[in-house]
Structure 1
Amino acid sequence: MYYLFIALVGAERLVELAFSRRNARWSFAHGGQEFGRGHYPVMVGMHAALLLSCVFEVAALHRPFIPVLGWTMVAVVAASTAVRWWCVSVLGKHWNPRLIIVPGAPLVHAGPYRWIHHPNYTAVTAEVAALPLVHSAWLTAIAFTIANALVLRVRIHAEDAALGYA
């Protein structure tokens, strides 16, 4: 069942990439400029490796499903996915995992952006930690939480600079 869950998360990521391509075309057609190109492939690779590592650790190290931990982490993954899609819906055509800024576009202060600058990254951080823990893959949870923190440090700095926060 866990492998199916991971496959569904992977499929959801492919849907995000389709939205990303569509929104990138729209942004570039409206004068959008891309920033931080170097870290984007690292982000994509890290998320793909996370899914593979979840499967590998559970299969190779025979990690058990611990119901109280597993179901709690399923709830965290579901909540973080809901927050991420809330961000996508609030940003509309401006949403993209690539860092594309359309000149003159207003900063968004609606939805979860009312409370924090980077709600999507908060949700991603929770998801990166929770997804492996659904099936007790604690080594993957630790390794990718650290990797995600390093990637997000670069990403948030680049995004803040591009948006004029820095």
Structure 2
Amino acid sequence: MDWPRIILLAVAAQRLLELVLARRNTDRLLAEGAHEAGAGHYPLFVALHGGWLAALFVSTPADAPVDVPLLALFLMLQAGRVWVIATLGRFWTTRIITLDGAPLVRRGPFRWLRHPNYLVVAGELAVLPLIFGNAQVAVVASLLNIPLTFHRIRVENMALGRCIRDAIP
């Protein structure tokens, strides 16, 4: 059985469903008067994540062995991803969308980390390729992700800081 392709197709399907959810949440928030920050760097994330999956499809042999402990780690990362999405609820998007007056989420994984999703994503970019022994894709994707994520966190912190300041009477 072609387990690498099955796993990669499942991840691709998950990402597509998440994009539908993110788009719905983004449209709803913008209709409520929310603002987007950092739209200029968003296509770079789309390119990174799309390129990461495409590189895995192209460079991973169909008969590549699957590292089961790493697959289990990846599934735990997926649980973390779902936890973040569920905690943010209608505020979860793949973009930086802020709604003035909305409270900053401080429950779920946000009790311990300000940006838990970025930690999950960093783990995913490295672990999924390693499941199939594809260290090259893991390293390249991880290295490309570092500056993008640091930039995005700066932009997001500024946007969230503006919302918090604007909400203070």
Could you list the per-position Cα deviations for residues 62-85 of structure 1 after superposition, in whole angstroms to 9, with x for gaps in the alignment? Answer: 8842x5xx1122112111111111
Q: Which amino acid in structure 1 is aligned with residue 68 of structure 2?
A: W
CA–CA distance in structure 2, aligned partners of residues 72 and 129 of structure 1:
14
Q: Is 2:86 aligned against 1:89? A: yes
> TM-score w.r.t. structure 1 length?
0.92
CA–CA distance in structure 1, aligned partners of residues 83 and 75 of structure 2:
12
Q: Which amino acid in structure 1 is aligned with residue 94 of structure 2?
A: P
8 Å Cα contact 2:4/2:63 also seen in 1: no
Compared with structure 1, are the counterparts of its residues 63 and 157 closer, same or farther at alpha carbon in structure 2 (3 Å cutoff)? farther
Q: Which amino acid in structure 2 is aligned with residue 80 of structure 1?
A: L
CA–CA distance in structure 1, aligned partners of residues 100 and 87 of structure 2:
18
Q: Which amino acid in structure 1 is aligned with residue 52 of structure 2?
A: L
CA–CA distance in structure 1, aligned partners of residues 9 and 147 of structure 2:
25
CA–CA distance in structure 1, aligned partners of residues 74 and 47 of structure 2:
20
Over aligned residues, Cα RMSD in angstroms?
1.5
Q: Is 2:49 aligned against 1:32? A: no
Compared with structure 1, are the counterparts of its residues 63 and 152 closer, same or farther at alpha carbon in structure 2 (3 Å cutoff)? farther
CA–CA distance in structure 1, aligned partners of residues 60 and 12 of structure 2:
17
Seq. identity, %:
35
Could you list the per-position Cα deviations for residues 32-90 of structure 1 after superposition, in whole angstroms to 9, with x for gaps in the alignment? Answer: 0000001111111111111111122223xx8842x5xx112211211111111111111
8 Å Cα contact 1:76/1:126 also seen in 2: no
Could you list the per-position Cα deviations for residues 87-124 of structure 1 after superposition, in whole angstroms to 9, with x for gaps in the alignment? Answer: 11111111101111011000000000000001111111
Q: What residue is the counterpart of 2:114 in the other structure?
A: 117
Q: What residue is the counterpart of 1:11 in the other structure?
A: 13
CA–CA distance in structure 2, aligned partners of residues 52 and 142 of structure 1:
15
8 Å Cα contact 2:84/2:117 also seen in 1: yes
CA–CA distance in structure 1, aligned partners of residues 63 and 56 of structure 2:
10
> TM-score w.r.t. structure 2 length?
0.90
Aligned length: 160
Provide runs of 4+ in structure 1 moved above 4 Å: none
Q: Which amino acid in structure 2 is aligned with residue 98 of structure 1?
A: R
Q: Which amino acid in structure 2 is aligned with residue 55 of structure 1?
A: F
* Structure 2 segments unaligned to the other structure (5+ residues): 163-169
